[in-house]
Amino acid sequence: MEESVGKEKQPETKSPSDPEESLDIGKVGESMTPEELAEAKALGQRELFCELAGRVIDLIFLTAVALLLGRPDSWLMKWIAGDYPVTFQVALFMVLLLAGNMLISFPFSFYAGHVLQHRYQLSRQSFRKWFWRWGKRNLLEVAFAVVLIPGLYWLIWLCHDWWWLVAAAGFFLLSVILGQLAPVLILPIFYKVKPLDEGERTDEIKERLHRISAGTGIAVEGVFRMEMSAETSKANAMLAGLGKTRRILIGDTLLDHFTVDEIEVIFAHEIGHHVHRHIWKLICFGGLYSLVGFYVCNWVLGLWIELNGAAIDYANFPIYTLPLLLLVITLFSTSLEPLQNALSRHFERQADRYALKQTSFREAYQSAFRKLARQNKDDPSPNRLEVILFHSHPPIAERLALADS
């Protein structure tokens, strides 16, 4: 669970060239030139195309598998049903579905995550490194899925027609546990994270952070430097974790190239997320929406079983419903995404206002966002519909205007 300052929540696949080569510190705080703007817009459009194409392909894949293979008499179901325990059968089915999905979505992941990022000089990763990262992400997904999906079927078999209620409670609990563990267990798989103890300006930065975080419950010991520069030129910062693992992570790409005033403003933005309890609010919202989501799944899967000529028997709930379950979850979360993004953009504006109020650094706030736009090649004013549908952060132009209001 995390809240970040930039457009990307997880900058994992976005990487750049050497900041020394690609950044002119003198001009990064200024507005983009028409050429830079055109470049950012072109990159944004290509990324949007990949995003849309990837989603459409996912939906086609899941729909086809659900209709053609997710039935009691399909060859795949006959092949999976062997002498193994049913838990193993669900896990095997899930792994096959994920593998098929990864295979067909690979060209888009490769193009958007590697080719485009190099073409726009944002990545400094070799293909081998990119592929290793892609592999780690997918392995993690498989590891979660082979535990959670059989677990979900066990809930159906044991709790019968109340399974959706128990599953939503389980989802909430899992979000809290993962929120706590993610910064210490999952983030280090992808990024090297260390305490703020290196670099010439560290003392001044620490002193500023100490002052601005006084009374908020975040200690400077909870501020970490995240090594991003080995793979990307993009800058980012984020708030992550719950309770004892609550921390603010600042990318080295940001710490090394932004002024102390700008770092203080961005840090204050992350404190804004902490003070307004945004991570908890997002977890509660997620719990509520999983409740409705699992209820819808229960209803649709029941209809599918009846359509296949059987009565619903929760104690022996058939596992051929798995592709349909995944399809309903995907459709449900896609349709709620604009609402979730609107909430996230609202939280971002709250955190921006907090940063402006606490620091009074209007100019540093604006130059920090201009730098972010330039360094990350973010389109400052993308299409409104695109923002409503897909963006978790307000466009940079809007965030700049906030400082003038």
CB of 175 to Zn ion, least distance (A): 19
Q: Could you tell me the smallest distance in angstroms from the CB atom of residue 332 to Zn ion?
A: 26
- Asked whether 309 and 281 are in contact (CB, 8 A), the reply is no
Q: Which stretch binds Zn ion (CB under 5 A): 32-40, 160-168, 176-184, 348-356?
A: 348-356
Nearest to 125 by CA among 254, 10, 228: 228
> How many residues bind Zn ion, per CB under 5 A?
4
Place of tokens 């726009």: 120
CB nearer to Zn ion: pick between 94 and 372: 372
Binding residues for Zn ion restricted to 34-63, rule: CB under 5 A: none
Q: Least CB distance from residue 266 to Zn ion, whole Å? A: 9
Select 80 or 250, whichever has its Cβ closest to Zn ion.
Answer: 250
Tell me the backbone φ, ψ of residue 83, rounded to 5 degrees.
-85, 10
Nearer to Zn ion, 124 or 269 (CB): 269
Is the CB of 133 or the CB of 393 nearer to Zn ion?
Answer: 393
Task: Identify which of 349, 232, 333, 338 has the alpha carbon closest to the alpha carbon of residue 286.
Answer: 333
Interface with Zn ion in residues 350-369 (CB under 5 A): 351
Q: Determine the angle formed by the axes of helices 260-275 and 322-359, rounding to 10 degrees.
A: 120
Of 348 and 378, which CB lies nearer to Zn ion in the complex structure? 348
Stretch touching Zn ion by CB under 5 A, among 49-57, 107-115, 188-196, 345-353: 345-353
d(CA 289, CA 336): 9
CA-based nearest residue to 148, from 170, 133, 122, 123: 170
Closest distance between Zn ion and the C-beta of residue 352, in Å?
A: 8
- Quick one: which segment of 33-41, 125-133, 311-319, 340-348 binds Zn ion (CB under 5 A)? 340-348
**Of 3 and 379, which CB lies nearer to Zn ion in the complex structure?**
3
Which span sits near Zn ion by CB under 5 A: 1-9, 29-37, 40-48, 379-387?
1-9
For residues 200-220, one letter each, b for 16 or more C-beta atoms within 10 angstroms of the residue's C-beta and e for the rest, the string is eeeeebeebbeebbeeeebeb
Q: What span, in angstroms and rounded, lies between the C-alpha atoms of 50 and 395? A: 20
**Which listed range, 88-96, 113-121, 296-304, 346-354, lies at the site for Zn ion (CB under 5 A)?**
346-354
Which residues make Cβ contacts (< 8 Å) with residue 294, sequence separation at least 6? Answer: 163, 164, 165, 167, 168, 171
Cα distance between residue 183 and residue 270, in whole Å: 15
Question: Is 50 or 355 the residue whose CB approaches Zn ion more closely?
Answer: 355
- Closest approach of Cβ 239 to Zn ion, in Å? 7
Q: List residues binding Zn ion (CB under 5 A).
A: 3, 5, 348, 351
